[in-house]
Amino acid sequence: MVAAPPAPKKPVSKPAHHEPSAVTPATPTAEGVISVRGLDFHYGTKQALFDVNLEIPARKVTALIGPSGCGKSTLLRCFNRINDRIAGAHISKGQVVIKGKNIYDDDVDTTQLRRQVGMVFQKYNPFPKSIYENVVYALRIAGVKKKPVLDEACEHALKVAALWDETKDRLKANAFGLSGGQMQRLCIARAVAVRPDVLLMDEPCSALDPIATLKVEELITQLTKEFTVVIVTHNMQQARRVADLTAFMFMGQLIEFADTTTIFGAPQQKKTEEYIRGIFS
């Protein structure tokens, strides 16, 4: 907890970031990069999402918050169709439109979709390969063979993930030799190496210690230069620190979606307020 004090300092840069969104309407209704329209989602017979509507704007950090089991991860995992892996999981109503295309249409190529919508998981999960091979994995499977291209992409991705200085001398070393925070940043590098439009992050800091958390948070705010970031978090401080917009979910429903300052300063819904004041959680 020695690391805690500097934490509030960092978000000082945040208001600067936040200014443009203050200009846009408090409840973003304009067409976003990702628009969720009336989405109902089921795990087998169990319904996990109820009529979710959401417009996620480009080049912003959008946070999903809510009590455990409310469907944050489920919603996030709908954005790259990784839920398809789960037998019985399906949507029964609604659409998820990314770049003007409903990604649940039958003619959608999930491979291509996932190249445009990258994902970082809660528990860092690098492959048992070298750092270099981890980063260029997505390029390799996309068929890129030229060494200079791979090298360039690797360097860029590691720089984006703020990991380049720490690893540039040991690219051939096994990724498992890194620390937890480094591994999570490696996973971020791995996801951004193919330059996706959107980066999904499901509690990316929950397995990290405070210092590593801080580094990753800092990184996330930087990522908006290139990417649209959607992050699920349990930590409301974190949402405040990194998110431009925050969506509050409860029991599979989207209760409120607005500017982070609005959500935490003047929530419109009673449930949101209760949650933020710590009635549940």
Partner 1 sequence: MPNEPKASSDPGASDLIKPPRFMGLRIDRQQVIRAFFSVSAAVTIVTLFLIMWTLVTEGPFRLQKKLGFLPVPTLKGGFLDTYRWELGVYRKAGLEFCDHVKKPLTEHETIFSRLKRAVGAELNTVSKVSRDRRDAAILAKTHVEERAALQREALQEALDKTGPATPPEKIEELRKAVREATARKVAAEVLPPLFTDAEKQKLQEDLRGLQPDQEDFPPFIQELMAESAKQDGLAREKFAAFVTAVDEFEVAADPIIEVHDAMKELALATKELAVQQHMSEDAVAQLLAAAAIAKTPEEKAAFEKDAAQTDTTAIDFKGRIEPLLAKRADYEKLIPAYLATVKKVMADMPSKPLTGEARTLLAKARKDLPEHIKTVEASLHHMSGWKWDKPIPLMQSLSAFLFGGDWITNSSWQDFYGMVPLLTGSLVISLTALLIALPFSIAAAIYVNQFATLREQEIIKPLIEFIQAIPSVVLGFIGISVVGDLIKSTSDVAWLQWIPGFPVAERLNMFNAGCLLALMAIPTMFSLAEDAINNVPRAFSEASEALGATKIQTVFKVIVPAATSGILAAMLLGLGRIIGETMVVLLVAGNRIAIPDFSDGIGTVFQPAHTLTGIIAQELGEVSRGSPHWQALFMVGIVLFAISLFINWASRLVVRKFQLPKI
Ligand X SMILES: Nc1ncnc2c1ncn2[C@@H]1O[C@H](COP(=O)(O)OP(=O)(O)OP(=O)(O)O)[C@@H](O)[C@H]1O
Q: How far is the CB of 93 from partner 1 (least distance, A)?
A: 25
| Residues of this chain, 46-105, that bind Mg ion according to CB under 5 A | 73
Q: Does 70 bind ligand X (CB under 6 A)?
A: yes
Near partner 1 by CB under 8 A: residue from 14, 115, 185, 241: 115
Q: Cα(96)–Cα(55) distance, rounded to whole angstroms? A: 10
Indicate which single residue of 36, 61, 74, 160 sits in contact with ligand X (rule: CB under 6 A).
74
Judged by CB under 6 A, the stretch of 70-78, 111-119, 134-142, 148-156 that binds ligand X is 70-78
Task: Evaluate whether 65 touches 72 at the Cβ level (below 8 Å).
Answer: yes
Q: Applying CB under 5 A, does 228 fall inside the site for Mg ion?
A: no
| Binding flag, residue 86, ligand X (CB under 6 A) | yes
- Using the rule CB under 8 A, is 191 a contact of partner 1? yes
Q: Which of ligand X, partner 1, Mg ion, none does 129 bind, CB closer than 5 to 8 A by kind? A: partner 1
Among Mg ion, partner 1, ligand X, none, partner that 68 touches (CB below 5 to 8 angstroms by kind) = ligand X
- Determine the Cα–Cα distance for residues 71 and 232; give it in Å rounded to an integer: 10
14, 39, 52, 73: which one contacts ligand X (CB under 6 A)? 73
Of the ranges 58-66, 91-99, 127-135, 144-152, which one interacts with partner 1 (CB under 8 A)? 127-135
Q: How far is the CB of 141 from ligand X (least distance, A)?
A: 25
Part of the chain binding partner 1 (CB under 8 A), chosen from 11-19, 58-66, 94-102, 105-113: 105-113
Nearest alpha-carbon partner for 196 in 130, 99, 108: 99
Q: What is the 3-state secondary structure (H, E, C) of the chain?
A: CCCCCHHHHHHHHHHHHHHHHHHCCCCCCCCCCEEEEEEEEEECCEEEEEEEEEEECCCCEEEEECCCCCCHHHHHHHCCCHHHHCCCEEEEEEEEEECCEECCCCCCCHHHHHHHEEEECCCCCCCCCEHHHHHHHHHHHCCCCCHHHHHHHHHHHHHHCCCHHHHCCCCCCEHHHCCHHHHHHHHHHHHHCCCCCEEEEECCCCCCCHHHHHHHHHHHHHHCCCCEEEEECCCHHHHHHHCCEEEEEECCEEEEEEEHHHHHHCCCCHHHHHHHHCCCC
* Closest distance of CB 73 from Mg ion, Å: 3
Q: Tell the smallest beta-carbon distance from residue 127 to partner 1 (Å).
A: 6
User: Tokens 């703020």 identify what position?
Assistant: 162
Encoded tokens for 182: 């480094």
Q: Which of residues 40-69 bind partner 1 (CB under 8 A)?
A: none
Pick the piece of the chain touching partner 1 (CB under 8 A) from 43-51, 137-145, 219-227, 261-269: 137-145
Q: Applying CB under 8 A, does 111 fall inside the site for partner 1?
A: yes
Binding segment for partner 1 among 134-142, 144-152, 212-220, 257-265 (CB under 8 A)?
A: 134-142
Residue numbers at the binding site for partner 1 (CB under 8 A): 80, 82, 85, 87, 111-115, 118-119, 121, 123-129, 137-138, 140-142, 174, 176-177, 183, 187, 190-191, 194
